[in-house]
Amino acid sequence: MSVASTGTRGHGVDGVEVRPAVGDDLSGVLSVGHRTWLATYEPLVGPEYVAMGLAKWWTSDVVAASIRKGRTIVAVDGDDVVGVATFGPQDDDFVLWKLYVLPDNHGNGVGSRLLDAVVERAVEGGHSRIVLSHIEGNAGAARFYARHGFTETHRESGGSDMPVSVWMERPLPSAEATGTEDAS
Ligand SMILES: CC(C)(COP(=O)(O)OP(=O)(O)OC[C@H]1O[C@@H](n2cnc3c(N)ncnc32)[C@H](O)[C@@H]1OP(=O)(O)O)[C@@H](O)C(=O)NCCC(=O)NCCS
């Protein structure tokens, strides 16, 4: 069963829909990324890091490519994208690259639903674990991932003037065990 084929189309009780992103979501995804990055990282690591990250990971080209490859999931409230998650391979790993929910929507379960959708993809793909990193000092993210079963594996220096990345992993059950199979 894929995210797109869930009977409810990913609608929650609050009316927020979680679904794979399409081309028309591009500006909404960019807006979530830019607004949430600024609010999260400027106080934590400063404006230079925010400018670098937005220029590297949140350009139209990068975001459109991820949408085109089917590696972006959005949470949508009416016409508004309020949260986004992206995933993809790195070597043998399945990586959750981005998980961002607009600050006004934090604490409403949107991040948990986006994470669940990404985990479902990883299980469907037959992966034995999902990995991610967050910046050292991002206490909200650390708490969120710990509550969702992730444990730290190692820390990676970002180099001069760059934040340290905290890498985490969560083991996954096999697709047979969960009854989900990749139909594609
Ligand atoms: C981390 C994040 C994706 C979680 O999404 P969310 O929709 O707020 O999460 P949920 O509502 O499903 O779960 C809430 C949990 O998230 C954590 N959390 C993190 N930041 C929070 C915030 N500002 N408000 C409320 N909860 C927050 C808490 O641990 C909370 O757990 P609790 O139930 O014990 O209070 C979201 O807060 C976010 O976008 N944060 C800023 C960007 C970021 O750090 N992203 C991760 C990058 S690696």
Q: Structural domains in the chain?
A: 3-178 (3.40.630.30)
Q: Could you tell me which residues are beta bridge partners of residue 131?
A: 95, 169
Residue 10 per-residue DSSP state: T
Categorize the per-residue pLDDT at 10 as very low, low, confident or very high, splitting at 50, 70 and 90: low
Q: Is the CB of 56 under 6 A from ligand 1?
A: no
Query: Rounded distance, CA 76 to CA 72, Å?
Result: 13
Q: What is the average pLDDT value for the chain, to the nearest integer?
A: 91
The Å distance, Cα 116 to ligand 1 centre, comes to 14
In the chain, pLDDT over 70 holds for what percent of residues? Answer: 90
For residue 116, pLDDT over 50 is answered with yes
Query: Rounded distance, CA 35 to CA 183, Å?
Result: 36
**C-alpha distances out from residue 67 to 14, 29, 55, 86, 172, Å:** 25, 10, 18, 9, 24
The Å distance, Cα 8 to ligand 1 centre, comes to 24
Cα first-last separation, the chain? 10
- Alpha helices of the chain — where are they, by DSSP H? 26-45, 47-57, 60-68, 110-124, 139-147, 175-178
Q: Which among 137, 8, 28 is positioned nearest to 73, based on CA atoms?
A: 28
Model pTM above 0.85:
yes
Q: Is the CB of 144 under 6 A from ligand 1?
A: yes
Q: Is the CB of 68 under 6 A from ligand 1?
A: no
Place of tokens 């594609």: 184
Categorize the per-residue pLDDT at 45 as very low, low, confident or very high, splitting at 50, 70 and 90: very high
Question: Between these two residues, 1 and 85, which has the higher pLDDT value?
Answer: 85
Categorize the per-residue pLDDT at 8 as very low, low, confident or very high, splitting at 50, 70 and 90: very low
What is the reported pLDDT for 159?
87
Question: Between these two residues, 6 and 27, which has the higher pLDDT value?
Answer: 27
What is the reported pLDDT for 181?
58
What is the reported pLDDT for 182?
55
Dump pLDDT digits (tens) for 129-154.
Answer: 999 999 999 999 999 999 999 999 99
Name the strands in the sheet holding 129-135, side by side, starting at the edge strand that comes first in the sequence.
17-20, 72-77, 80-90, 93-101, 129-135, 165-171, 151-156
Q: What are phi and psi of 43, to 5 degrees?
A: -65, -25
* Averaged pLDDT, 28-41: 98
What is the reported pLDDT for 158?
87
For residue 5, pLDDT over 50 is answered with no
For residue 7, pLDDT over 60 is answered with no
